Amino acid sequence: MPFVYTKHVSTRIKQRKVMPSQIEQAILQPDEVIPGFKGRLMARKELSGNTLEVVYRQEGENTIIITAYWL
């Protein structure tokens, strides 16, 4: 499943100190997945005592990563 990072998420993960490997781990091994707006999914993963939420959608075989943030 190829990951595609939008321009928005590329900017935000730098600001929020989120690594791409953490995003991919949250999507591949989530603790919870919640349906979101317009067919988007929100994957939650606890990492080092903090919860990361990743908003993404599937487009064919691609996983389009929209944004990511710490809860």
User: Could you report the per-residue pLDDT of 9-20, keeping only the tens digit for each?
Assistant: 999 999 999 999
pTM for the model: 0.93
* CATH assignment of the domain containing 36: 3.10.450
- Domain hosting residue 58, numbered range: 3-70
Q: Looking up tokens 């791409």, which residue turns up? A: 20
Beta bridge partners of 59: 62
Task: Check pLDDT > 90 for residue 26.
Answer: yes
Q: How many domains does the chain have?
A: 1
38: helix, coil or strand? helix
Q: What is the pLDDT of residues 37-70, one digit of tens each?
A: 999 999 999 999 999 999 999 999 999 999 999 9
Q: Looking up tokens 């606890």, which residue turns up? A: 46
* Residues 43 and 17 sit within 8 Å (Cβ to Cβ): no
Q: Indicate the residue type of 66.
A: I
What are the backbone dihedrals phi and psi of residue 21, each rounded to the nearest 5 degrees, phi first? -65, -35
Query: d(Cα 22, Cα 36) in Å, to the nearest integer?
Result: 20
